[in-house]
Chain A
Amino acid sequence: MKNPSRVLLVVLVLATLILPGCQPKEKEAADLLEKVTNRGTLIIATDPAYPPASQLVEGVTRPKDTKCAADQRVAAEFVGFDIDTAVEVARRLGVEACFVTPDWTLITGGNWSDRWDISIGSMTITAERMDKLYFTFPYYVGIEAFYVHKDSPVQSIEELSGKKIGACSGCTYEYYLDKTLAVPGLDIDFLVDNPQFVGYDTDVPALQDLALGDGVRLDAVMTGMNIGDESIVSGLPLRRLEPTITYSFNGGAVDKAFGVNPVPLVKKVGEIILAMHQDGTLKRYSMDRFGYDCVTDAAIFDLDALEQW
């Protein structure tokens, strides 16, 4: 190390080379469906933070023959209802399912800049999201519920008016609680008045805060029934309030701001999902992963009421 400045210089030059040049160009395609078929992979965004819809698998070795890019994940690295559905959709499109795992806000916000093709990640169809995203026919419905600490005197959802209610911020729960939630083609009965909303990144920390004691940090949490019941099974001292609430229809979503026309892909995936409803595939996945049927109710959904195109 006779001349540190020379060493420094070499490091600097190498460093600037690490920064990217252009990415290789894909063959021009008329629309997103063609692009996906040409590429041979469907790039799906999912957030493996929501068992049993989507969670990680440890110790997976990547198959050698995968077409997924180096910064994408292969299907084997995840397990869950969303993953089952996504993999089957890709299979019926005749391509391989590859996954990326951006933060939830990055998925729902649109402007994906062609980084991935579709979200199959339990995304509820809402009017706000329809500004940025196209939705496929829903593949399952969410069953939501309110949870209180098991020492809480509260017996009905209406009693939670004015209380501190935790939920993930930016999720449908926040809009349900401030009564701005609008689901196209559905008349929602809002049961709580003027709660004090406490926002969380995701649901589980909210449940853990609630478990600290009745009213310590929260009086109640609104979350999906699967997540809440799971946390009770795993030992949190919580209790579910009846009735459960269903307003969320979860579909695949595609960014509207794509360089190429995304509509044929959205329609095609919608057809595949409908077929999976009809041949019982989705119901089988539902019984497998949730232990109950949360797909049959989706069949009543009227996609045309969204007037997307």
Chain B
Amino acid sequence: MDLSNVMQPGDRASDPDWEMGLRLLAVQRRRRLAFAVRLAAVWLALVAALAFVLLQLNVDPLYAVDHSAFVLQGVLTTIGVSMASISVATVLALLGALGKLSRSSIAQGIAGFYVSLIRGTPLLIQIYLIYLGLPQIGQQFANRGMPGIGGMLTLNAIQSGILALSVNYGAYMTEIFRAGIQSIGHGQREAAKSIGMGEWHILRRVILPQAVRVIIPDIGNQFIAMQKDSSLVSIMGIWEITYRANRLARKDIKFMEMFLLAAAIYWFMTIVSSWAEGWLERRLSHAYER
């Protein structure tokens, strides 16, 4: 077929209505810009309203500013604990999801029990059990002539915190991973089987790379939640944001100031996290865009 006289879309030279296209595009751009401006205005108004309300509180904003350096030193601790925990939680969640999807009754049983037990109990209690309880179990091992295991079960505050957050979030993320893995069409698994791939290869080369893309936004969400939940580890004396804000507040009885400061820091961190998550998401979906 001769295509030379068929009009191609977006062909400036041969399209007599080219001007119309340009006008429509301009209108579209203007609308988009106007929307962005209105959106920014709403945000600004809300921020201003929030600031106004906060200023009605009996607070001394300058106090918070003056003491922010000390609290900000906790940011690295909070991020470090959260990053380590989300990583370990990811391992646990993957294992949990594989267990739940497994045909083995043992694996399914263990995974189901893990998720049910951990989701059914408060994080704070899990932290106490790991920090206080594990060493006592370790003591029993030590008493039976296994001091190595005893020492291994006596975790310091940071390790206990990371373990508790990991175990806790691993349980929630198990369901995310399960759903993510199941969201990959059955045809993918069949195609992989048809070229003779084994279960492990199918999972690692075909299912997970695709599931990760589905899961990343949810992991990002969990990471944001975790940054805030990580404040619970302060009970073990870890000097993260909440601990520093709280203990500093006691010195001069400036609770509201320091809590607002901590809240602002957390908020900023989560904004950065969701931005990073969006960036990662876009990178991963590269192969899926035309």
Contact = CB atoms under 8 A, between A and B. Distances in A.
Direct contact of A and B (CB under 8 A): yes
A8 B252 contact: no
B23 interface: no
Contacts of B142: 259
A51 interface: yes
A20 B130 CA distance: 14
Contacts of B111: none
Given A5-B209, A48-B247, A51-B250, A25 B136 contact: no
A109 interface: yes
Interface stretch (B9-17, B43-51, B223-231, B235-243): B235-243
A49 interface: yes
B237 A22 contact: no
Interface in B87-116: 87-88, 90-91, 94
A77 to B, nearest CB: 9
Given A12-B90, A20-B152, A106 B236 contact: yes
A56 B247 contact: yes
A304 interface: no
Contacts of B213: 4
Given A101-B237, A113-B136, A4 B212 contact: yes
A208 B256 CA distance: 11
A71 B136 contact: no
Contacts of B156: 20, 23, 71, 115
A192 interface: no
A105 to B, nearest CB: 8
A259 B151 CA distance: 11
Interface in A160-216: 202, 204-205, 208
A100 B69 contact: no
Given A19-B162, A113-B154, A204-B255, A58 B248 contact: yes
A59 interface: yes
Contact of B208 (A8, A48, A50): A8
B93 to A, nearest CB: 10
A203 to B, nearest CB: 9
A16 to B, nearest CB: 6
B253 interface: yes
B96 to A, nearest CB: 13
A19 B159 contact: yes
A91 B159 CA distance: 30
A305 interface: no
B251 A55 contact: yes
A22 B152 contact: yes
A15 interface: yes
Contacts of B220: none
A102 interface: yes
A189 to B, nearest CB: 31
Nearest to A73: B239
B227 to A, nearest CB: 17
Contact of A58 (B70, B88, B234, B284): B70
Given A8-B208, A103-B237, A18 B135 contact: no
B189 to A, nearest CB: 15
Contacts of B162: 18-19
A248 B151 CA distance: 36
B269 interface: no
Nearest to B248: A56
A1 interface: yes
A231 B155 contact: no
B187 interface: no
Given A22-B151, A102-B157, A49 B235 contact: no
A236 B94 CA distance: 53
A153 interface: no
B283 interface: yes
A268 B114 CA distance: 48
Interface in A233-256: 234, 236
Interface in B120-154: 131-132, 135-136, 138-139, 142, 148, 151-152, 154
Contacts of A50: 250
A108 B185 CA distance: 55
B130 to A, nearest CB: 12
Nearest to A20: B159
A5 B204 CA distance: 6
Contacts of B247: 48-49, 55-56, 101
B154 A23 contact: yes
A255 to B, nearest CB: 11
B88 to A, nearest CB: 5
Interface of B: 67, 69-70, 84, 87-88, 90-91, 94, 131-132, 135-136, 138-139, 142, 148, 151-152, 154-159, 162-163, 204-205, 208-209, 212-213, 234-237, 239, 243-244, 246-248, 250-253, 255, 283-284, 286
19 contacts: A1-B284, A4-B209, A4-B212, A4-B284, A15-B84, A19-B159, A19-B163, A20-B155, A48-B250, A56-B247, A58-B70, A102-B235, A102-B237, A103-B235, A106-B131, A106-B132, A109-B132, A113-B138, A230-B253
